[in-house]
Structure 1
């Protein structure tokens, strides 16, 4: 399945998972409600993570295109990248969790889990291989200091 690696843009994966979450919530015969009060904090966290991560890439003139990690020109390790190697994907996960809370259906949560599983396998793992090949020991040391998600 390596032919799927870095081929589907993560926002598209996120949209598919959001659609799936909507379908799962609609098919549910009973409700396991999630608190809607979490929607806004999760949205704000998502925007903060995503926005600051994109801004860090733009400031360092490196690619934000997740389909071409081999074109990275700089290893970004500050800001939220001190705590997570993937704050953009963490932000997308926060958006999906906010969506599940908006739907008020715990049955929608498998969609968020699918996102994590897909991104880990088909996006993050190939990105990590490309970054290690490009940046060598600096990237290996960074991976030893900073967790993949949080």
Structure 2
């Protein structure tokens, strides 16, 4: 193990990034509203409710899986095990996917399309600032096992 890779991050970026995305979406809607056509309002609400429910379920499932495997949930702590079960079978980052879907889903629920745009921006920043660092940490900790996992499991979807 490389000593400089003992932790993946020194700051918990994901909550900050997604909180800033929500704040930005609220301000953008106030100053540059994106009106949602009335005919789409009900469909938007239904899709938003489904996305929100799915996102919460995905996050709870991911946290439960990490806790069952006795590894950390916090990004600024060193991971104890490479988790490839539960939602990690389908995506390498189910919590970040959950945050992204939750942000977009809430936007659709309240009719603020800026939330969808900001969810995409937060996902891009999460990839650049968080996921790449975490992947280097996991590669240094688990080597070939992590490489094999990456080949069979997508980063997002």
Answer yes or no: same fold by TM over 0.5: yes
CA distance in 2, matches of 1:18, 1:107: 9
TM-score (norm 1): 0.88
Question: Pairwise CA RMSD of aligned residues?
Answer: 1.6
1:117-136 maps to which residues of 2 (within 5 A)?
117-136=124-143
- How far off its partner does 1:39 sit? 2.1
Residue 141 (structure 1) aligns with: 148
Contact 1:9 1:67 in 2 (8 A): no
The alignment status of 1:67 with 2:71, answered yes or no, reads: no
Max radius of gyration: which structure? 2
Structure 1 unaligned runs (5+)?
none
Residue 61 (structure 2) aligns with: 52
Contact 1:97 1:109 in 2 (8 A): yes
TM-score (norm 2): 0.84
Contact 1:52 1:80 in 2 (8 A): yes
- How far off its partner does 1:30 sit? 4.7
Task: Map Cα deviations across residues 83-113 of structure 1 (whole Å, 9 max, x no partner).
Answer: 1000000000011111220231324432112
Q: How many equivalent pairs are there?
A: 144
Q: Which runs of 4+ in 1 moved over 3 A?
A: none
Structure 2 unaligned runs (5+)?
1-8
- How far off its partner does 1:12 sit? 2.1
Residue 18 (structure 1) aligns with: 22
Residue 85 (structure 1) aligns with: 92
